[in-house]
Structure 1
Amino acid sequence: MPEHFRALVVILVLAGVVFFMARRPASDLIPAHDFSRRRNLWFVLTILAFVSHSFWIYVAVTTILLTIARKREHNPVALFFILAFLVPPAQARIPGFGLMNYFFDLNYVRLLSLCVLLPAFFSLRRQADTQGFGRTWPDKFLAAYLVLTSLLLLRETTVTDTLRQTLYQFTDVFLPYYVASRALKNLSDFKDALLGFVLAAMVMALIGFFEFARGWLLYSALIGAMGMQWEMSSYLSRGGLLRASVTTGQAIALGLVISTAIGFYLYLQEGVRSKMQRRLGALLLAGGLFAPLSRGPWIGAAAMLLVYIATGQKVVKRIMLLAFAGILALPVLTVVPGGQKVLDLLPFVGNVEVENITYRQRLIDNSILVIQRNPLLGTFDYRKAPEMQAMIQGEGIIDIVNTYIGVALSYGLIGLAVFVAFFAAVLLGIRKTMRSFPDKDDEARRLGRALFATLVGILVTIFTVSSITIIPVVYWSVAGLGVAYVRMARNLKHTSPAVAASAHLQLR
């Protein structure tokens, strides 16, 4: 049996276990028929990917299926989230048929954006209660960032390619942000959307732990079976252990997805009645976070948990308990079987691949020197600078493992300022809004705490990784959720007292 068929059997079994175990707790949060419909679509699209043996056949049939599914779907964000990580985002070029070299690069996530988010964009624009784009500070900063980066592309490439790159900005940045920020209007919508992300991440967590335990990347053979090539799909190890990547192509990208799901789970778990199921869900996500052996997401998840605790009740007590548990775990790991391996992998404590930390420090130092030469708008040929050439690794590449540094090198301090200002505006909006709910046990406040902490965790993590594969889609979407949360609370305050009281009861 070909490898990709054997992998398909394993994937279907593992995903079946997750969806079976999640069915009952999911029914505490969303209608059962929504869960069943999206689960079934997940299985159909997964099987189709492995049996199509052609990316273009997969694109054609998936477009039809997504068009049908979209018409039955009331929450496009939930549908997008549960399907976003289903297939590796390897790219294929749509040929120009003699009119041009090629039209544009298409991958699975971009296809999903065009089939699910683009129709939602047009639908939302026609709705009278949809806020126009550009009315909020995050909107303004995002528009400025997109315009700036698109114009600066003209320094490097042709007008045709600039238009192509602008299309990618629209599908990969604007649509995830816009639909996430406009489509969710009450707590039920948020539960629906966040659960879609968490379910997808739980499936990835179990598959990732299998990859880690068995030393087998289940999706690696799929790329070749679909007639594609992808430099991201490769085996990486750390400390003699395979680093899981599932469909993301990179272990650190998988870690960021799982850590984001943990942030969402902090809010969703309160709606699950069974304590045992809540603990099993948390354990599954924790195992999924460990499987990639990526220290950046571990640090981001730790920052996220600290922020979530710090914005809740009994802050000092809970932080002290968390610190005590961490301190107690260190000596325990030295005596339990396999514990020393875990210690060796920990950031700032272990001794495995410490040169990666040194590399990141050198990258910051050398990049500052390069940025100083073109401080305002950066340059696209920064890799030719002597300081960057000194960063070439054994693979012959210069790995810009820092999203902020990458933005500053390409678009200068102006681009970096707008990029940071966008996320700062979202965070300030969430923080101000959640503080308007004085009851710290209020469900709307807990949602704000989870979104705030999750975005902080993401912003910490991308300090250790460039914006590769699905990482940008995650942080632009989560930022959109933050904007939607602010608008939801604002609309609630502007309703009449009777309507507001009724809506608040629904929130609780």
Structure 2
Amino acid sequence: MPEHIRALVVILFVAGVVFFLARNPATDLIPEGDFKRRRNLWFALTLVAFFAHSYWIYTAVAAVILLTARRRERNPMALFFMLLFVIPPASVEVPGFGVVNYLIELNHQRILALCVLLPAALVLSKQGDTLRFGRLLADKLLAASLLLMALLYLRETTVTDTLRQGVYLYIDVFLPYYVASRGVRDISEFKDVMLAFVIAAFVLSLLAVAEYVRHWLLYNALLDALGVQWSMKGYLSRGGALRASVTTGQAIALGYVITVAIGLFLFVQGFVRNRMQRYLGALLLAAGLFAPLSRGPWVGAVVLIVVYIAMGRRALSRLALLGLAGLLSIPLLSIMPGGEKVLDLLPFIGNVDHENITYRERLLDNSWIVIQRYPLFGSFDFRNTPEMQSMIQGEGIIDIVNTYINLALRIGLVGLALFVGFFACVVLGIRKTLRTFTDRDDPYRELGRVLLATLLGILVTIFTVSSITVIPVIYWSVGGLGIAYIQMVRRLGQADVTQPANVSLQPR
């Protein structure tokens, strides 16, 4: 039996278990028909991918399926999140048929955006009650950032390629942000979107555990069967164990996805009636966060949870309890079988791959020298500077494992300021909105609390990784959800949201 078919058997079994267990708690939040339809689409796209034996056949069939499904979908952003991680986002070039070398690079993420988000964006733009893009400060900062990036491409490539890069910015950045910020308008739609991401992360988590236990990257053989070359399908290990990546391409990207899912789960779980199902979901995400063995997302998840607790009731006592539990776990792990291995993996404590921390420290120092040389708009050939050349690793690459540093090097402090300014605008906007609530148990306040904690967890995590594979589409989407939340509360009005809402966070 071919390896990709053996992998498919494992994937279908694992996903089947997750969807079976998720069905009842999911229907506490959304109609059962929506859950079944999206689940069936997940299985359909997976089967098409594994049996297509050609990326172009997969693309054609997937496009037909998605365009057909879109007509029945009431929440495009939920469908986008549910299917975002079906296969790895490896890219292929669409031929230029003799006019240009190639038109664009296409991957699963872009197919999904073009078939689901683009039609949704067109519909939203024609609706009279949709807030026009550019009216908000966050819109202006995002637009300025995209324009700056597009213009700076001209200094390093041709006009044709600059146009191509502009298309990528529209598909990868604008569409997720616009549909999330304009298409999600009430709390039931937020539940739908966040649940879709969490369920998709449940599948990733259990698949990650399978990869970790079996020391087998399940989706590598699929890319070979589709005839796609991808540099991000190599095996990585830490402490002698495989670092799972599933469909995200990199272990740290998987850890980032699970960190975001943990944040969104904090809101979703409040609507699930069965306490055991809530505990099982939390345990599954914890296992999914561990399996990639990526320390940056672990730090991001801790920050996320601390911020979430700090904005809730009895914050000081709960934070003290959390800190005490963390301190007590260290001596406990030291005496448990296998505990020493876990301690060695922990950031700031363990000794495994300590050179990675040293590398990041050197990257900060050397990058700052280059940034000072090209402060405003960066440099397209920053990798050729002596400081960056000294960072070449054994694989012959310079790994800029920091999104902020990468932006400052490529588009300068001006571009970095626009990027940081966008997220600061969203975070401060949510924080200001939260102050309008008098009831700490109000579900609208709980939603804002979760979004704020999740965004801060994201902003910490991307300090440890560059914006690769699915990482940017998620932070632009969550940023869009933050804007949607602010606008939703403004529409409702302070007088309405401070009254008891018609939505309960208690299990029914």
By the TM > 0.5 criterion, same fold? yes
Alpha-carbon distance in 2 for matches of 1:305, 1:29: 23
Provide Cα deviations, 1:315-359, integer angstroms capped at 9, x if missing partner. 100000100110111111011111111000000000000000010
Conservation of the 8 A alpha-carbon contact between 2:269 and 2:278: yes
Alpha-carbon distance in 2 for matches of 1:105, 1:394: 28
Q: Provide the alpha-carbon RMSD of the alignment.
A: 1.2
How do 1:56-455 and structure 2 match up within 5 A? 56-455=56-455
Identify the residue that residue 489 of structure 2 maps to in structure 1: 489
Alpha-carbon distance in 1 for matches of 2:343, 2:504: 43
Identify the residue that residue 501 of structure 2 maps to in structure 1: 504
Alpha-carbon distance in 2 for matches of 1:163, 1:503: 51
Q: CA deviation at 1:100?
A: 1.1
Alpha-carbon distance in 2 for matches of 1:23, 1:70: 22
Q: How many residues align?
A: 505
Q: CA deviation at 1:127?
A: 1.0
Identical columns (%): 64
* Amino acid in structure 1 at the alignment position of 2:427: L
SS in 2 for 1:149: helix
Alpha-carbon distance in 2 for matches of 1:506, 1:354: 48
SS in 1 for 2:502: helix
Provide Cα deviations, 1:32-60, integer angstroms capped at 9, x if missing partner. 11000000110010011000000000000
Alpha-carbon distance in 1 for matches of 2:434, 2:88: 36
Conservation of the 8 A alpha-carbon contact between 1:173 and 1:476: yes
Alpha-carbon distance in 1 for matches of 2:322, 2:450: 18
Alpha-carbon distance in 2 for matches of 1:261, 1:228: 29
Provide Cα deviations, 1:224-257, integer angstroms capped at 9, x if missing partner. 1001100001100001000000000100000000
Alpha-carbon distance in 1 for matches of 2:497, 2:6: 54
Conservation of the 8 A alpha-carbon contact between 1:187 and 1:507: no
Alpha-carbon distance in 2 for matches of 1:435, 1:213: 46
Alpha-carbon distance in 1 for matches of 2:384, 2:99: 33
Alpha-carbon distance in 1 for matches of 2:354, 2:245: 21
* Amino acid in structure 1 at the alignment position of 2:392: I
Alpha-carbon distance in 1 for matches of 2:409, 2:46: 38
Uncovered stretches (5+) of structure 2, i.e. residues with no partner: none
Alpha-carbon distance in 1 for matches of 2:330, 2:269: 28
Alpha-carbon distance in 2 for matches of 1:436, 1:219: 47
Provide Cα deviations, 1:185-217, integer angstroms capped at 9, x if missing partner. 100000000000000000000000110111000
Alpha-carbon distance in 2 for matches of 1:180, 1:248: 21
Conservation of the 8 A alpha-carbon contact between 1:492 and 1:503: no
User: Given the two structures, how large is their TM-score scaled by the length of structure 1?
Assistant: 0.98
Conservation of the 8 A alpha-carbon contact between 2:443 and 2:501: no
Alpha-carbon distance in 2 for matches of 1:235, 1:183: 39
Conservation of the 8 A alpha-carbon contact between 1:113 and 1:176: yes
Conservation of the 8 A alpha-carbon contact between 2:245 and 2:253: yes
Provide Cα deviations, 1:269-301, integer angstroms capped at 9, x if missing partner. 110011100000000000000000000000000
Q: CA deviation at 1:503?
A: 9.4
Conservation of the 8 A alpha-carbon contact between 2:442 and 2:501: no
Alpha-carbon distance in 1 for matches of 2:463, 2:215: 28
Identify the residue that residue 26 of structure 2 maps to in structure 1: 26
Alpha-carbon distance in 1 for matches of 2:358, 2:135: 43
Q: CA deviation at 1:501?
A: 8.7
Conservation of the 8 A alpha-carbon contact between 1:444 and 1:507: no
SS in 2 for 1:155: coil
Q: CA deviation at 1:500?
A: 6.8
Q: CA deviation at 1:506?
A: 4.3
SS in 2 for 1:105: strand
* Amino acid in structure 2 at the alignment position of 1:398: I
Q: CA deviation at 1:504?
A: 3.3
Alpha-carbon distance in 1 for matches of 2:26, 2:160: 46
Where does structure 1 differ by over 6 angstroms across 4 or more consecutive aligned residues? 499-503
